[in-house]
Structure 1
Amino acid sequence: MIACQIQPNKLSLGLRGNPPFIDEEFYSTIKQKDSFWTMEDGEIHITLQKMNKAETWMAALKGHQSQQPNDAIVTEEVKKKMMLERFQEENPGFDFSSAEFNGQSPDPRTFMKDNRQF
């Protein structure tokens, strides 16, 4: 009954045989093979895996971001959270759950000039 297509750059969602009610481009590219949708208790859940894990998105879909300018404090907190996640992945034997940054955190995508897509 549900028609859902998740492509690397676009989401299409609707009822079979009808025009989709969501037919939008993603804010950035996703990993199609690692993204999926499920239905639970009458709700559709869409799980997307970003192509560039440390990339911050203004919204999941282009054109749907808030009309308010970015809050610098929120953006900085998101960067800090991504840095801690990266440290944890790169050092699985250590616990960074209570670690804190003081000052401005670096961009997690370019930290230590490591440009791999993780």
Structure 2
Amino acid sequence: MAILSEYEEDQKPTKPSSSGKPFNAALDPSNPLGFLEAVFEFVSRESDLFKSDSVVRDVNALVRAVKEKVDSEEKKRREKAEKRASEERARASASVKEEKKEAEAESEKTTDGKKAPNKGNGLDMDNYSWVQTLQEVTINVPVPPGTKSRFITCEIKKNHLKVGLKGQPPIIDGELFQSVKVDDSFWSLGTSALHKTSTKALHIHRIRKSISVLLTKQNQMEWWKCLVKGGPEIDTQKFDQRQKSMGLPTSDEMQKQEILKKFMSEHPEMDFSRAKMS
């Protein structure tokens, strides 16, 4: 038994002897590989790690795992930063849109409460719209599909207009801003197609019917501020500002052109080939 005991003692693994030197290397951010080299040298002195045949594979696996962890954390950090930046851009965009909306709403009114005119120097109302030239006023009143002419009531008087559907409250009923030439004014029922085109065919989305009323002004040298008295008024100066920005004639220039046209029609014997508007 003594011999066996001695044999067992001989078979016990021996622990590597420690050098007794503490690890005292410091990490220099400019030379991280130098720090790793010091770590590996310390581990090689204090353990049998580098005596293993798989040490290179094991260390590579460890480095790979750390690298994947770092990449994953960096990806999450970038995604978080991008999300924060996207949210900030969205908030900024919403703020700009809100400011633009407020500015547009503010521009729709002048200091005296008048509204900015539409592109036709008239006004878009909830249930109809109107535009004008110096000579005429054109009103467009949308009506339900299937509406027939016999369902419509339209009374055009010198100073009054009434438009609507029979059996229903009138859509327009009021004293006109200025008098009109009744004999030169009329109404009609028309249709317009709201559609979009594709490379293969024309797709009709909806057919809209509307009453179109044309009023010929008595005074053809003045813009109307409203369609009917008591209704919303437009700021006709806004029209001139828009026309000027688009390189189009202002109301004053258009008025001068109309005066010249009228004078030319009344004097066909005269030569106006060199006439210029100033």
Aligned AA (1:45) = S
Q: Which amino acid aligns with 2:159?
A: N
- Residue of structure 2 in register with 1:11 after alignment: 161
Which letter does structure 2 place at the counterpart of 1:9?
N
- Structure 1 residue 28 and structure 2 residue 178: aligned? yes
Greater C-alpha Rg: 2
Seen in structure 2, the aligned counterparts of structure 1 residues 44 and 72 have a Cα distance that, compared at 3 Å, is: closer
Separation in structure 2 between the aligned mates of residue 83 and residue 77 of structure 1, nearest angstrom: 10
More helix by share: 2
Aligned counterpart for 1:60 among listed residues 195, 202, 227: 227
Of 22, 29, 44, which residue of structure 1 is paired with 2:211? 44
After the TM superposition, which parts of structure 1 deviate over 4 Å for at least 4 consecutive aligned residues? 93-99
Give the direction of change, closer, same or farther, for the CA distance of 1:96–1:43 in structure 2 (3 Å limit): farther
Does the CA contact (< 8 Å) of 1:84 and 1:96 recur in 2?
Answer: no
Contact 1:87/1:96 (8 A) holds in 2: no
SS in 1 for 2:263: helix
TM-score, reference length from structure 1: 0.67
Kindly provide the amino acid, as one letter, of the partner of residue 12 in structure 1.
K
Q: Which amino acid aligns with 1:6?
A: I
2:267 counterpart of 1:91: yes
The alignment covers a number of residue pairs equal to: 101
Percentage identity across paired residues of the two chains: 36
CA distance in 1: counterparts of 2:213 and 2:275, whole angstroms: 31
Rounded to whole Å, the distance in 2 between the matches of 1:61 and 1:95 is 41
Compared CA separation, residues 83 and 17, structure 1 to 2 (3 A):
same
Name the structure, 1 or 2, with higher relative contact order (CA <8 Å, separation 6+): 1
> Structure 2 length normalisation: TM-score?
0.32
Task: Give RMSD over aligned pairs.
Answer: 2.8
Contact 2:159–2:178, Cα closer than 8 Å, also in 1: yes
Structure 1: gaps spanning 5 or more residues: 103-118
Amino acid at match of 1:90: E
- Please report how far the alpha carbon of residue 97 of structure 1 lies from its aligned counterpart in structure 2 after TM superposition: 8.7
